[in-house]
Amino acid sequence: MTHPIIPPPSPTAAHAMGMADGTDLSPLPAAMDRLSDISIRALANLVLDAAPLDQTPQSTTAIAAALGAAPRHGALLGRWLAALATRGVVQGGPAGWWRGDGPLPDAGMDDLAPAYAALGFPPRMAASHRLALGALPWLIRDQASIQQILFADGRVLEALAAYQDNHFTRYLNRVCAGLAAWRHDRQGPGMAVLELGGGAGLTTDAVLSRLGPGRADYRFTDLSRMFTLAAGQRFPGIETGVLDINAPFAAQGGADGSVDLVLAGNVLHNAADITASLRHIRQVLRPGGWLIFTESVWENEALLTCMGFLLSPAAGAPPLYRADRRAGLPFLDADGWRAELGAAGLSPGLCLPEAVSPMAAAGQCLFLGIAGDA
Ligand SMILES: C[S@@+](CC[C@H](N)C(=O)[O-])C[C@H]1O[C@@H](n2cnc3c(N)ncnc32)[C@H](O)[C@@H]1O
């Protein structure tokens, strides 16, 4: 049986799919910068208090000891110091850091709620980040956990949703939904959709609302059964199941060449080996099938003092992000993601937003890859 090759829309048309609600985007870059400044200020205060660097340079190891940093957060501390170096607050490298002449940003806790509000987040996100900033000395020592802060009221689904609920993610989810509808309109009924790491269902909601009930064979999956059960209740008529992106899909209900469209909203950075996970995805797609995924293309500085703690390995586990092109960092840049797509037999198609768009300020992008002939 042959399958249709469906070309995606132009980048301009795809971008327009995300811009439906007429939001004024001009304040977004400045609000994002504000969050970065708050984070950098907090990190500078913490590091320079624990390890004054104006007299004697200190190695990353010595700074880790001064902070009492838990070994599993060693890579995060390295990213903190690199971010401070980018701002000129410190200079040097792992063998010796000293105080740079970069000024400390003039930003504090009072700026947090307005910045998050300008970015379209619900108040819950600013409240969580405020707690995380106050707890930084304990978080880096593992004497408090970011999970305790984010999920303090036990409402994991709401916490995950709050983090995803902002102008950037809404834009990306709308583009994703528009592309799914574009494909469906050209392919016809019975389009098989497999969503990976569906989580709190914001991507699912955007896509299903756009497609309409029963217009696709939709399978929602996640590593966590809690999320698949919640999605099953919320979205009647879809199939749900547990699926780990780190293992071949065929043994997890995803037969080779059975899917037209794979969706992965902010999931693939969780892969132990991105190259391997993209190959699993290529395997489940029909020739000409699409993978649409959204991902970070850099770690914005706001992440470093909040969600960044989730990116550290478990205690005693080996370092993460070493198996693929990431070279120890949690995210690839756009060229890196495209290179990984190509290596897995998926031709890189769209990558949005363009760098000049205010929507690019958070460092999150949507990518489309097209499965070549097997
Ligand atoms: C940022 S959330 C995804 C958000 C989702 N797009 C939404 O709209 O709510 C990342 C998701 O990836 C899932 N995840 C983490 N590791 C995974 C793995 N190895 N396989 C599949 N899903 C995984 C998490 O359980 C979480 O739900």
Q: What is the distance in A from the centroid of ligand 1 to the CA of 272?
A: 13
Indicate which residue's Cα is closest to atom 4 of ligand 1.
Answer: 199
- Tokens read off for 352: 């949005």
Compute the distance between CA of residue 45 and CA of residue 52 in angstroms, rounded to an integer.
10
Tokens 């293992």 appear where?
A: 247
Structural domain range at position 250? 11-22+166-371
Contacts of residue 48, Cβ cutoff 8 Å, sequence gap at least 6: 89, 99
Dihedrals φ, ψ of 157, to 5°?
-60, -45
pTM assigned to the model = 0.97
Any domain includes 354:
yes
Q: Flag whether 194 is in a domain.
A: yes
How many domains is the chain partitioned into structurally? 2
Is residue 4 in some structural domain?
Answer: no
Q: What is the pLDDT of residue 3?
A: 67
* Shared domain check, 204 and 340: yes
- Does residue 6 belong to any structural domain of this protein? no
| CATH number of the domain that residue 354 is part of | 3.40.50.150
Which of 222, 227, 234 has most ligand 1 atoms within 8 Å of its beta carbon, as the pocket-test mutant? 222
Q: Which residues of the chain have pLDDT under 70?
A: 1-4, 20-21, 373-374
User: Would residue 2 count as lying in a domain?
Assistant: no
Single out the residue in 157, 174, 204 at which a domain terminates. Answer: 157
pLDDT, residue 155, reads 87
Same domain, 239 and 366: yes
- Whether residues 101 and 250 share a domain: the answer is no
Q: Judge whether 175 lies within some domain.
A: yes
Q: Which atom of ligand 1 is nearest to the CA of 200?
A: 9
Whether residue 352 is found in the same domain as residue 242? yes
Ligand 1 atom 15 nearest Cα: 270
| 347 and 253, same domain (yes or no) | yes
Q: Which atom of ligand 1 is nearest to the CA of 227?
A: 27
Distance 242 CA to ligand 1 centre (A): 11
Closest-lying ligand 1 atom to the alpha carbon of residue 173: 8
Amino acid letter at 220? Answer: F
Q: Are residues 195 and 340 in the same domain?
A: yes
Looking at residue 338, its pLDDT comes to 97
To test the ligand 1 pocket, which listed residue (226, 245, 270) has its Cβ within 8 A of the most ligand atoms? 270
Residue nearest to atom 20 of ligand 1 (CA): 244
Which atom, in ligand 1's list, is nearest to the CA of 246?
Answer: 19
197 with 332, same domain?
A: yes
- Which mutation among 125, 166, 267, 274 tests ligand 1's pocket best, with the greatest number of atoms within 8 A of CB? 267
Residue in 326, 337, 331 with CA at minimum distance from that of residue 369: 337
15 lies in the same domain as 47 = no
Tell me, in angstroms, the distance from the centre of ligand 1 to residue 90's CA.
35
Q: Are residues 127 and 232 in the same domain?
A: no
Using the atom order of ligand 1, give the atom closest to the CA of residue 195. Answer: 6
Q: What is the Å distance from ligand 1's center to 198 Cα?
A: 6
> Which of the listed residues 101, 122, 157 is the one where a domain comes to its end?
157
- Which residue owns the Cα nearest ligand 1 atom 16? 270
CA of 348 to the centre of ligand 1 (A): 22
Who lines ligand 1 at CB under 6 A? Answer: 160, 164, 196-203, 222-224, 227, 244-246, 265-267, 270
Nearest atom (ligand 1) to Cα of 199: 27
Q: Which atom of ligand 1 is nearest to the CA of 265?
A: 6
Tokens coding 92: 């040097």
Establish if 300 belongs to a structural domain: yes
Taking the C-alpha atoms of residue 269 and residue 319, their distance in angstroms, rounded to an integer, is: 14
Same domain? For 244 and 355 the reply is yes
Per-residue model confidence as pLDDT tens digits over 83-112: 999 999 999 999 999 999 999 999 989 999
- In this structure, the answer to whether residues 263 and 338 fall within a common structural domain is yes
Residues 56-79: tens digit of each pLDDT: 999 999 999 999 999 999 999 999
Residue 313 lies in a domain: yes
Instruction: Using the 3D structure, point to which of 157, 177, 196 is the last residue of a domain.
Output: 157
